[in-house]
Structure 1
Amino acid sequence: MMSGQVIDVADTSYLSHEQDNRYRLEIKICDRIIQRYPYHYQAWNYRSYLLASVGRYEAAVESYRHTLSLKSTEHRVWCNYGAVLEKLEALDEAAKCYNHALKQAPFYFKAQYRKSKNLHRRALYGEAIVSYDQAIQLRPDFYKVWYYRGKAMLQLDRTEQAIASFNKAVELYDGDGKVWLVLGRTLLQVHKYQDALRAFNYAIQLEPDNAGLWSYHAATMKAQGNLEDALASLEHAVALDPDESRFWHLRGLVLLELDQLEVAESSFTTSLKLQAYNYQGWLAMGWTLQKMGDFSRAIEAYDKSLAIEPDQPFAFYNQARCHARLGQDTWAVEHLRRAMSLDPNIYTERAHADPLLQAILHDMENDDSSEDLEEIELITLDSH
């Protein structure tokens, strides 16, 4: 059962029922040995590993502390102790453990790798990248180091370097859909659509039931103007995960561009039923209803969007247009004022070029000039 060899801490989610039962039985055996031989280092060490393996992390931490009090020169035990502390979110203490391990064994890859991820989790991205580079020197063929190094690069907006790191990861191992997904998403952000599409296609081959992948695939197709293909991908996404509001929202946007307004409205309705507190969803609904000529309901939708996110010149501007369509010029003036005050450069120019709002804008300018004249007259009277 026991030896001097140190076994890595296991992920409890992969334990079968039989393994779990066997580990719990072996913990009892270790306890009996320790009761008889309190300084039995191997028994304490193996007991610590077993407790961590069945998810009893607090007990495992105490057991590792006792193990290290008996013998503190085993770098692999320090590394396992750090891994268990991370399970309990004791990240600073875990970092000290990895440093202990590396002090005893500077070329121990596992400790260097875990130290890198620990720095990453603590948002020390620059230090994490340096540590990942050190881990790569120890084991350049381990794809996950390149993957996490790329993710740290993204946090520092070093996008091109991140892409290079992700590409190295998939070059070393092309069977992890998560890596292809992050690579594709990064390429999509920098408008490298063909490369992004290739990455998402690889990811979908590995994980065809991943609804999120289909949505990113759709976003890439939409960015390239392939709306029908984008819609087909979103149909996959909503079929796989019909409770995800974002997929219905994206589907509505594509349908809107295809001018399938009634189906788009239905898609936005489903999205908002799943997540009502989404100002972009109500904004899209307002725009759809406005295009359908349902101006009163469009105004209501814009109001709901503005109740969540108040400073939206686009919403105020289009409410002005809807009020103008309904002959409600006073309300149109009020909403146009709000749009122009929030973004005067865009919406003043747009209003001047908008035949629907030109007369209203003219009335606004006349009103403003008359107020100025009254003020001048009052000043003149006061001066008398």
Structure 2
Amino acid sequence: MDPDTPEEWFKLAFDAEDPEEKIEYFSLILECRDLDPELWSNEAIALVWNNKGIALSFLGMEEEALECFKRSVDLNKSDIDVWCNMGVVMFNTGRYEEAIKCYNRVLTIDPGNEHAWVNKGDIFELMGKHNDAIDCYSKVHKEIELDNKFAVVWHKKGLSYFGLGKYEDAIKCFTKVLKIDPEHLDAIENLKTAMARTKKMNDEMKYKSTSCL
């Protein structure tokens, strides 16, 4: 393969470990004026923009990465990976509502996309919208799937219930986490705290009932 062709630059970019080197090769492709249209469709060029954006994001160049992702979706609006990447950048730069819009776009294309549901839930949780977060996390699992990725989601859901003061629901979630991963330290500690809060609430209720007699 000719080392000075876009096809070879593409291969070199993927093989490179240095993000700056990746960016250099992807830029050469994007600046090339005589790309073979049979090899370089809009979808292929969109892929290059996306991967250049990923490399820029890795270097902390979020705004430059975002411009690449936008160029990518202009060429291929159905690529959910790019919309997810845009969502991550929007989240990292504090643009939560825009990040949610990106994940909504993903879910329009792929309603069952777990990555989008979890990330959207995380944003809602960060914004203090615990009920919305719970709704998102609930899309990822049905009951108790024996997989560590589901343990993570059950734990997130438990924290959302905890934020609402629904400690008994939080206990159920943390318990599910520990059925999947018995050594999940955060779940162990959060379960203890939720149980202590529940006991305190119950004791207060009993005291109020007694004092009313």
**TM-score grouping bracket, smaller chain normalisation:** 0.7 to 0.9
- Aligned counterpart in structure 1 of residue 83 of structure 2, from 180, 184, 191: 180
Correspondent of 1:215 among 118, 134, 158: 118
Whose Rg is larger?
1
Matched, 1:128 2:25: no
2:137 partner letter: L
Structure 1 stretches (4+) deviating beyond 4 angstroms? none
TM-score by length of 1: 0.46
> Going by fraction, where is helix more abundant, 1 or 2?
1
1:124 partner letter: D
Residue by residue, what CA displacement relative to the aligned partner does 1:79-137 show, whole Å, maximum 9, x if unpaired? xxxxxxxxxxxxxxxxxxxxxx22xxx2x322211211111xxx211111111111111
**Distance of 1:158 and 1:241 partners within structure 2:** 39
> What's the offset of the Cα at 1:240?
9.0
What percentage of aligned pairs have identical amino acids?
20
| Amino acid aligned to 2:184 | N
Q: State the shift of 1:276 in Å.
A: 2.7
Write out aligned runs for 1:154-165 (5 A): 154-165=57-68
Structure 2: state its 5+ residue gaps: 201-213
**Are 1:137 and 2:22 an aligned pair?**
no
Q: Provide TM-score, normalisation by structure 2.
A: 0.80
TM-aligned CA deviation for residue 183 of structure 1: 1.5
Amino acid at match of 1:232: D
Counterpart residue number, 2:207 = none
> For this pair of structures, how many residues does the alignment match?
188
User: C-alpha distance in 2, partners of 1:251/1:198?
Assistant: 21
Deviation at 1:208, TM superposition (A): 1.1
Secondary structure in structure 1 of the residue aligned to 2:111: coil
- Taking the aligned partners of 2:65 and 2:190, their CA distance within structure 1 comes to 33
Partner of 1:226: 129
Equivalent residue for 1:258, pick from 155, 164, 178: 164
Distance in 1 between residues matched to 2:151 and 2:124, nearest whole Å? 20
Determine the C-alpha separation between the residues in 2 that align with 1:245 and 1:230. 16
- Residue identity in the other structure for 1:271: V
RMSD of Structure 2 on Structure 1 (CA): 2.0
Cα distance, 1:216 vs structure 2: 0.9
Q: Is the 8 A contact 1:209 1:240 kept in 2?
A: no
Task: Summarize the Cα distance change of 1:156–1:221 in structure 2 as closer, same or farther, 3 Å threshold.
Answer: same
State the shift of 1:224 in Å: 2.5
**For 1:213, what is the secondary structure of its paired residue?**
helix
Higher relative contact order (CA 8 A, sep 6+): 2
Distance (whole Å) between structure 1 residues aligned to residue 108 and residue 144 of structure 2: 18
Find the aligned partners of 1:281 and 1:160 in 2 and give their Cα distance.
36
Query: Equivalent residues in 2 for 1:96-111 (5 A)?
Result: 101-102=2-3, 106=4, 108-111=5-8
Aligned to 1:168: 71
The answer to whether structure 1 residue 237 and structure 2 residue 140 are counterparts is yes
2:13 to 101, 116, 124: 116
In the TM superposition, what is the alpha-carbon distance from 1:209 to its structure 2 partner? 1.5
| Rounded Cα–Cα distance in structure 2 between residues aligned with 1:284 and 1:163 | 37
Q: Does 1:292 align with 2:198?
A: yes
Q: CA deviation at 1:241?
A: 8.2
Contact in 2 for aligned 1:214/1:234 (Cα 8 Å): yes
1:281 counterpart letter in structure 2: A
Deviation at 1:280, TM superposition (A): 2.3
Match of 1:379 in 2: none
- Residue 210 of structure 1 contacts residue 240 of structure 1 at CA under 8 Å; is this kept in 2? no
Find the aligned partners of 1:248 and 1:165 in 2 and give their Cα distance.
Answer: 34
CA contact (8 A) 1:211 1:241 kept: no
Q: Structure 1 277/179 Cα, relative in aligned 2: closer, same or farther at 3 Å?
A: farther
The alpha-carbon deviation at position 175 of structure 1 amounts to 0.4
Structure 2 CA distance for partners of 1:186 and 1:286, relative to 1, 3 Å: farther
Q: Distance in 2 between matches of 1:185 and 1:127?
A: 23
Contact 2:144 2:176 in 1 (8 A): no
Counterparts of 1:240 and 1:183, CA distance in 2: 31
